[in-house]
Amino acid sequence: MNRTLLKETLDTYTRWQVIALLFLGFSAGLPFLLVFSTLNARLADVGVETATIGFFSWLGITYSIKVFWAPIVDRLKLPILDRLLGKRRSWILLAQTGIASGLYLMAHVDATAAPEMMAWCGLLVAFSSATQDVAIDAYRIEIAEERLQAALAATYIFGYRLALLVAGAGALYLAEFWSWQVSYEVMALLVGVGMATVLIVREPEVNHFAAAQDIAGKIEQEAAKRTHLNPRLARFVGWFYAAVAGPFLDFFRRYRELAILILITVAVYRISDIAMGVMANPFYLDFMGFSKTEVADVTKVFGFFMTIAGSLLGGVLVVRYGVRRMLLTGAVMTAATNLLFVVLAQYPPDLGTLALVVSADNLSGGIANVALIAWLSSMTSASFTATQYALFSSLMTLPGKFLGGFSGIVVAGYGYAEFFLLAGLMGVPAILLAIYMMQKGERLDALAPRNETAESS
């Protein structure tokens, strides 16, 4: 690393906004496994029936449908809290309060005697967690200028991944040495990390309401004029239209015929990576014959650090070379590393080769993910940040997860090598669309919202 790049890296990652996102990323990642795999382990450990455990997976639906209540997070001012903290921090703190309360209640519920109560407490955690994601995404986009978005995403991912380790392995260790009650009580206490961060950091100084307020006012006038609604109802119609329809109208009017292609790019960008990941562990364990410990050491521990390295490197490269160029680089690297698994499937098991392939896969995944997040962040309007980004984030994973459901059929019918080859080819549309977006770069820059922040240093 030359001296100029080192200086740029230090300058980027020592900014208060970037450091703040490390702790907010931890806050976002902490509850995720506690209502998924860690909760499933707890339920199985205390003797809950397998069929019942399966129903608990429905808690994850809340993360996929958060776009439906994102407009409320964008438009509704919370009483008292909004005046004390501002819009974004007040919503984050409220969501964190829901997470901590839900985890504490889960710590004291007997899952065998009252599985329904455990499910309701889990729903409180999942709903609050998804709401926190919406508010933190909006905060991240609004707190700094576009060129820092990749670095913010990198530290956010670092904090998120760290929280997954704590809520996964950490929670299991606590349950093993003490109890599930202690484990979930400690997790509830750790929500305080995010709460303290919210109280310390600053509120973004962008105008959340300018465009949306104009839309609301016009619709209110038209509603009162044409339908003779009373002023209060007309005001509600205007607010609802601006909150729900405004974000989508703003996006499609701004990008016009490019809007559909942008959404398609978002939808296909991670298909190759997500689809491949579904069959990764069966490939390591069943086909290659590695032990659980070997897979855990290489993919979970070593892979964790390589993903973080990729994320941090991606943050620096986006600042240095631009977001669309790195978007294309990430797409190419993701597809290419999937083809490395084709090669891996042709040779006898070797732990060193596995580590090399996993390193390349996680490094490319970290770069691609940071580039995508930074690109999407640059296209959200300050007036509709939470709703527009919630739309993007929902599209990011949904197609990949859907197609990943068929991965087992492909492996059973053709084999792992053929499956990984197909997964690599699934990355070609993302590469072509990234090239197209580079070609349309000047126009996209001209159409992009200029989210001005009073504090960007």
Quote the CA–CA distance of 102 and 407 in Å, as a whole number.
35
DSSP string covering 23-91: HHHHHHHHHHHHTTHHHHHHHHHTT--HHHHHHHGGGGHHHHSGGGTHHHHHHPPPTTHHHHH-HHHHH
DSSP string covering 178-223: T-HHHHHHHHHHHHHHHHHHHHHSPPP-S-SSHHHHHHHHHHHHHH
3-class secondary-structure state, position 204:
coil
Q: What's the confidence (pLDDT) of residue 69? A: 83
What CA–CA distances, in Å, run from 70 to 125, 132, 426, 445?
17, 10, 31, 26
Q: Helix axis angle, 323-344 relative to 271-278, nearest 10°?
A: 30
End-to-end CA distance of the chain: 24
Please give the model's pTM, rounded to 2 decimal places. Answer: 0.72
Question: What does the block give as tokens for 156?
Answer: 């956010």
Asked if 367 and 329 touch (Cβ cutoff 8 Å), the reply is: yes
Q: What's the confidence (pLDDT) of residue 190? A: 96
Quote the CA–CA distance of 169 and 194 in Å, as a whole number.
20
> Residue 81, class by beta-carbon neighbours within 10 Å (0-12 exposed, 13-18 middle, 19+ buried)?
middle
3-class secondary-structure state, position 229:
coil
3-class secondary-structure state, position 449:
coil
How far, in whole angstroms, is CA 300 from its chain's centroid? 19
Q: What's the confidence (pLDDT) of residue 453? A: 38
Question: What does the block give as tokens for 320?
Answer: 């240095």
Quote the CA–CA distance of 267 and 426 in Å, as a whole number.
12
3-class secondary-structure state, position 222:
helix
- Residue by residue, pLDDT tens for the chain (457 residues) are 566 667 767 777 778 888 899 999 999 999 988 887 777 777 877 777 766 776 776 777 787 778 788 888 877 888 888 888 888 899 999 999 999 999 999 999 988 888 889 889 999 999 999 999 989 988 888 887 767 777 888 888 889 988 988 887 788 888 888 888 999 999 999 999 999 999 999 888 765 555 455 555 555 455 555 555 566 666 666 666 666 677 777 788 888 888 899 999 998 998 888 778 767 777 877 788 877 677 767 776 777 788 888 888 888 888 788 888 999 999 999 999 989 999 988 888 888 888 899 889 989 988 998 889 888 888 887 667 777 778 787 788 778 767 766 777 788 888 888 888 998 999 999 999 999 999 988 888 777 765 433 333 3
Q: What's the confidence (pLDDT) of residue 243? A: 64
- Nearest Cα neighbor of 159 from 10, 304, 362, 295 is 304
- Nearest Cα neighbor of 411 from 292, 272, 287, 271 is 287
Q: What's the confidence (pLDDT) of residue 5? A: 63
- Nearest Cα neighbor of 407 from 285, 295, 280, 299 is 280
Q: What's the confidence (pLDDT) of residue 255? A: 87
Q: Could you identify the residue written with the tokens 């299991």?
A: 172
User: Which amino acid does the sequence have at 30?
Assistant: L
Within 10 A of 241 (CB to CB), how many other CB atoms are there?
A: 19
What CA–CA distances, in Å, run from 41 to 35, 108, 366?
10, 16, 28
User: Which amino acid does the sequence have at 211?
Assistant: A
State the Cα angle at 194 between 191 and 197, rounded to 5°: 150
**H and E: helices and strands count for the chain:** 27, 0
3-class secondary-structure state, position 180:
helix
Q: What's the confidence (pLDDT) of residue 94? A: 95
Q: What's the confidence (pLDDT) of residue 329? A: 94
Quote the CA–CA distance of 295 and 289 in Å, as a whole number.
10
436 Cβ partners below 8 Å, 6+ apart? Answer: 261
Quote the CA–CA distance of 12 and 334 in Å, as a whole number.
25
Quote the CA–CA distance of 131 and 133 in Å, as a whole number.
5
